[in-house]
Amino acid sequence: MGHGQGDPKKVVIAALLGNAGIALAKFVAAFLSGSATMLAEAVHSVADTANQGFLLVGMKLSDRTTPDRYPLGRSKEIYFWAFIVSLFLFFMGGVFAVYEGVHKLTAPPEKPGSQISSIVVLGISLVMEGLSFSVAFKEFNKARGTRSIRHALFDSRDPTIPVVLLEDTGAVFGLGFALIAVLVTTITGDSRFDGIGSIAIGTLLCVIGVALARDTRSLLIGEGITEEMRAQVLEVAQRAPSVLEVRQLLSLHLGPDAVLLALKVRFVPELGLTELERAINELEERIRSALPQMKKIFVEPDSRYDAQLDPSLLGDGGATTSR
Computed over its alpha carbons, how large is the radius of gyration of the chain? 27
Residues 93 and 145 occupy one common structural domain: yes
What's the pLDDT at 304?
A: 59
Domain ranges, residue 231? 227-318
Q: Within a domain: residue 210? A: yes
Looking at residue 297, which CATH number applies to its domain?
A: 3.30.70.1350
Taking a C-beta distance cutoff of 8 angstroms, is the pair 118, 201 a contact? no
pLDDT of residue 2: 43
Q: Any idea of the CA torsion for 138, 124, 25, 212, to the nearest 10 degrees?
A: -30
Q: Is residue 154 packed enough to be buried (19+ CB in 10 Å), middle (13-18) or exposed (0-12)?
A: middle
pLDDT at 280: 93
Whole-number pLDDT of residue 230? 92
Supply the CATH number for residue 179's domain.
1.20.1510
The string of DSSP codes covering 15-75 is HHHHHHHHHHHHHHHHHHH--HHHHHHHHHHHHHHHHHHHHHHHHHHHT---TTT-TT-ST
Residue 301 inside a domain? The answer is: yes
Q: Does an H or E element contain 283, and which? A: helix 273-290
Q: Which of 221, 252, 279 is the last residue of a domain?
A: 221
**177 and 202 share one domain:** yes
| pLDDT given at position 323 | 30
What is the chain's pLDDT, residue by residue, as a tens digit (323 residues)? 444 455 677 778 877 887 888 888 888 888 887 788 888 888 888 888 888 888 888 888 888 877 778 888 888 888 888 888 888 888 888 888 898 889 888 877 666 666 788 888 888 888 877 877 887 788 777 767 677 777 766 666 777 777 777 777 888 888 888 888 888 888 888 878 888 888 988 898 898 888 888 888 888 888 888 888 899 999 999 999 889 889 889 999 888 888 999 999 999 888 888 889 999 999 999 999 999 989 899 999 975 544 344 444 334 443 333 33
Within this chain, do residues 27 and 95 fall inside the same structural domain, yes or no?
yes
Question: Cα 266 to chain center, whole Å?
Answer: 36
How many helices, marked H, and strands, marked E, lie in the chain? 10, 3
Do 57 and 201 lie in one domain? The reply is: yes
**pTM of the shown model:** 0.69
Domain limit, last residue, from 174, 189, 221: 221
* Nearest alpha-carbon partner for 232 in 251, 216, 213: 251
**Tally of structural domains, the chain:** 2
On whether both 192 and 262 belong to a single domain, the answer is no
pLDDT at 7: 64
Residue 236 is predicted with a pLDDT of 93
